[in-house]
Amino acid sequence: MEKPSKLKNDKKEPGPTYIIADMACSHEGQPSLAQKIIDGAGRAGADAIQFQIWVLKKLMVPQHSDFKRVSRLELSQPQWASLISYTREKHPHMEIIACVYENESVDFCEKEGVDAYKIHTSDLSNPDLIKYVAQTGKRIDLSVGGSTIDEIKTAVEWIRSSTDSKMWLMYGFQNFPSPTDQVHLRYMLKLKELFELPMGYQDHSDADTQAGFWLCASAIGMGIDILENHITHDRSFGGVDHEAAFNPDEFARFITMVRTIEGALGTSIPKPFSAEELKYRKYAKKSLVASRDLPAGTRLTSQDLVAMRSDELGLPPDKADRFIGRASVRNIQAYQLLKESDVK
């Protein structure tokens, strides 16, 4: 099935990891802070910035215990439109992903031409929203943490009944911050096998630890295609969605780590030796040399040959049978490299 659009791999070989910077609600309802976060993600080299775009009155009942707090985080559609324009102007390399929760926000995001949608795990059993997003034809990042296999299967079927556009599965343990012993990375491999879709890891580790770095490193080594990590303007601010969010400089180091790991993965296909490898082979590989002075006419036995390092590379030890039982045609000094032309 399809692979991430910016990934060059067909999973025969590892390719570039697609990195999503999730702003979530770290903007605290202030467009100026949102711009700082966008700049941090763009300068770090993220492939995409993810916005949570919603209309509160259609997201949460007024009597909800969090309604008043969340109301302070709501950005208006004109504010979002300005932030989308800002992103495109300042950081055109970044795609814009909209995490939406209701149809009105989908309509707005379509008007603004976002690149892809994320469906939060809270809406995995919401056919109205899922099918509404699917009819846009845009890529869908389906968040599956805290969901059953049946719930995931049903959501995938709803999407496929409406569109054949790209779909990614995104797994993360839904707790902020996430205890590392509850993350369950191996489960992602099972989901990838079951659904044959690109698999992403959403990290929610305590950002004051290094867990967000090494869990993502582990995910890359496991063959995960996409990484999503939270980003904020300043974690010490202590606001909403800050516990698992990198500061901009940390996000930059995170991306450097990911790209370094990718470089180390290489390919499974043998490649020509580099100059450094050839130099090492010449220094380290053992060659067949004479174990003693061998006068011309000496019929060689296994005791006349020894495998040792030499300044030059000769025949490897597994070619000894080319000499045993044959007579030398010249005087060969001890520790000289042996050549087939030395015997008859």
What's the pLDDT score for residue 1? 45
Residues 229 and 281 in one domain: no
What's the pLDDT score for residue 15? 64
Q: What percent of the chain has pLDDT over 90?
A: 85
Confidence class of residue 33 from pLDDT cuts 50, 70 and 90? Answer: very high
pTM for this entry = 0.85
Residues 228 and 320 in one domain: no
Token pair of 236, please?
A: 């010490």
Distances 333 to 140, 292, 295 between C-alpha atoms, Å: 73, 7, 8
Confidence class of residue 2 from pLDDT cuts 50, 70 and 90? Answer: very low
Residues 179 and 102 in one domain: yes
Write out pLDDT tens, residues 55-68.
999 999 999 999 99
What's the pLDDT score for residue 121? 95
CB 48 within 8 A of CB 88: no
Average pLDDT over residues 159-185: 89
- Rounded-to-integer distance, Cα 231 and Cα 48, Å: 12
Average pLDDT over residues 40-65: 96
- Rounded-to-integer distance, Cα 3 and Cα 9, Å: 8
- Rounded-to-integer distance, Cα 125 and Cα 16, Å: 32
Residues 252 and 289 in one domain: no
Return mean pLDDT, the chain: 92
What's the pLDDT score for residue 236? 86
- 11 in a structural domain: no
> Other CB atoms closer than 10 Å to residue 197's CB: what's the count?
20
C-alpha gyration radius of the chain: 30
- Rounded-to-integer distance, Cα 265 and Cα 268, Å: 9
Q: By residue range, what is the domain housing residue 282?
A: 275-342
Confidence class of residue 241 from pLDDT cuts 50, 70 and 90? Answer: confident
Domain edge (last residue) among 265, 295, 316: 265
Q: Is the dihedral of CA 38, 40, 45, 46 positive or negative?
A: negative
Whether the pLDDT of residue 237 is over 90: the answer is no
Residues 252 and 291 in one domain: no
| Burial class for 189, CB neighbours closer than 10 Å (0-12, 13-18, 19+) | middle
Whether the pLDDT of residue 12 is over 80: the answer is no
Higher pLDDT, 188 or 176: 188
Whether the pLDDT of residue 136 is over 90: the answer is yes
Domain edge (last residue) among 233, 265, 297: 265
- Rounded-to-integer distance, Cα 175 and Cα 163, Å: 31
**Pairing state between β 167-171 and 199-203:** parallel
What's the pLDDT score for residue 244? 85
CATH number at residue 186: 3.20.20.70
Average pLDDT over residues 63-90: 96
Domain edge (last residue) among 232, 265, 298: 265
Residues 122 and 178 in one domain: yes
Cα 337 to chain centroid, rounded: 48
Confidence class of residue 10 from pLDDT cuts 50, 70 and 90? Answer: very low
Domain count, the chain: 2
Write out pLDDT tens, residues 194-234.
999 999 999 999 898 999 999 999 999 999 989 999 999 99
- 209 in a structural domain: yes
- 7 in a structural domain: no
Average pLDDT over residues 155-182: 90
What's the pLDDT score for residue 61? 95
Whether the pLDDT of residue 47 is over 90: the answer is yes
Whether the pLDDT of residue 14 is over 70: the answer is no
